[in-house]
Chains A and B, each alone.
Chain A
């Protein structure tokens, strides 16, 4: 009995901890939903770097995520770092904002996988 109760309490604490400390209070979304909600503003719905924020007045152009040539230059860790810490995390433009306090770690990893599907490439 004691063992069972302890187990239930431990499970409840784990659920609570995951909810509170995951970095996101919103329900976790699929990588595609996250991409189209957050990333597509600049990178476009298909990832071609042509979202509504890619105006002529911007100092840099958003990366084309469908370009295997460009995306293969980034390691998986580079991509995770950029999503979480913004452009500054890899000495790139701060026009790429940080999403580390917006998305849970699992969502960031799933986004990295989604980007690899868009470019049909692997990191060097």
Chain B
């Protein structure tokens, strides 16, 4: 009996230690949320889903991209790096057609940036499903991106060492380091869950499922 009790105690201890250990890997989430709140990041970025926008006015009233699915969208390494040294992702100010992005997003120091990244990575959406999308460059995707649809009409890309394309969409330069491939596919196939009102056309039902998959693979390969 004594032996059984000892085993049971050992098992409980191991279980508790496991929880404590697992807990340390998410220690930054609570701290990150504190920093996020104390700096009033939520004043510009929506962190509670689902999306609420119903009209163009609703979308234009937003000051910055929503982050309620940031953990499904971004790569953690990117967030950690970007928060320490933010560079414009959109050439224009958020949803502005007249003002260039001034590149004045607040920056965080090392530990704070890492903890806010931990917090943002905890904000996920069940609609960003695993789809097994892997980065894949090549002519098939490029033809869809450049010829079948003129994606670079709004999204700048790097071509032959030069930056070409439009300015109203987020840049495609470095997008492979920035976004999770599965999220790119989820956004292309089910955009209204994430952004019910957006200035980018809906391609779901325009491009075939196969083309959307190839496009997501191609976009996630762009550097």
Contact = CB atoms under 8 A, between A and B. Distances in A.
A101 B202 contact: yes
Given A94-B148, A97-B149, A57 B165 contact: yes
Interface in A25-49: 25-27, 29, 33-34, 36-38, 40-42, 45
Contacts of A109: none
A102 interface: yes
Contacts of A95: 150, 153
Interface string B181-206: 00000000000100011010111111
Contacts of B162: 57
Interface residues of A, number: 32
B39 interface: no
A94 B166 contact: no
Contacts of B59: 37
Interface in A7-61: 25-27, 29, 33-34, 36-38, 40-42, 45, 51-55, 57-58
A53 B167 contact: yes
B201 A25 contact: no
Contacts, number: 88
Given A58-B166, A101-B204, A37 B199 contact: yes
**Binding site secondary structure of chain A:** loop
A90 interface: no
Contact of B56 (A33, A52, A57): A33
Contacts of B147: 94
B201 A97 contact: yes
A55 B192 CA distance: 29
23 contacts: A26-B196, A26-B197, A27-B54, A29-B55, A29-B56, A38-B199, A38-B201, A42-B153, A52-B166, A52-B167, A57-B165, A58-B153, A58-B164, A94-B150, A95-B153, A96-B150, A96-B153, A97-B149, A99-B201, A101-B202, A101-B203, A101-B204, A102-B202
Interface of B: 53-57, 59-60, 91-92, 97-98, 147-150, 153-154, 162-168, 192, 196-197, 199, 201-206
